[in-house]
Amino acid sequence: MSFFISDAMAQAPAPGAGGDGGMSIIFLIGMFVIMYFFLIRPQVKRQKEHKAMVGGLKKGDEIQTMGGLMGKITELGENFMKVEVADNVVVTVRKSAVEAVMPKGSLKEL
């Protein structure tokens, strides 16, 4: 009767199941390295640049906030600063909200 039924191959090892553990670890390490160079490292670099820019702010600088507000710094504090956005209009802005320091005279062009 074994002639109609093929032998079961349950005893044979699955193809590729023998030495695949090392390759999967290398793959995971490779993926972490790729993620580090494409995601983590650029973000840390941007954070350092932003912190240096915020640390270098001084009275009289013309800035743009993340909300699009542009003005001249009139007073600096530890965490906050006062920005003059128009004649006799002064708003208080958080230092970390500064997106860019504009070149001198750029407010007069607007």
Predicted local distance difference test score (pLDDT) of residue 18 = 53
Q: Are strands 80-86 and 70-76 parallel, antiparallel or unpaired?
A: antiparallel
Question: Which residue in the block uniquely carries the two structure tokens 């670099």?
Answer: 45
pTM score of the predicted model: 0.67
Predicted local distance difference test score (pLDDT) of residue 108 = 82
As a whole number of angstroms, the distance between CA 44 and CA 91 comes to: 30
Residue spans of the chain under pLDDT 50: none
Kindly state the DSSP code that residue 96 receives in the 8-state scheme.
G
* Cα dist from 58 to 32, 62, 96, whole Å: 40, 9, 14
Predicted local distance difference test score (pLDDT) of residue 15 = 59
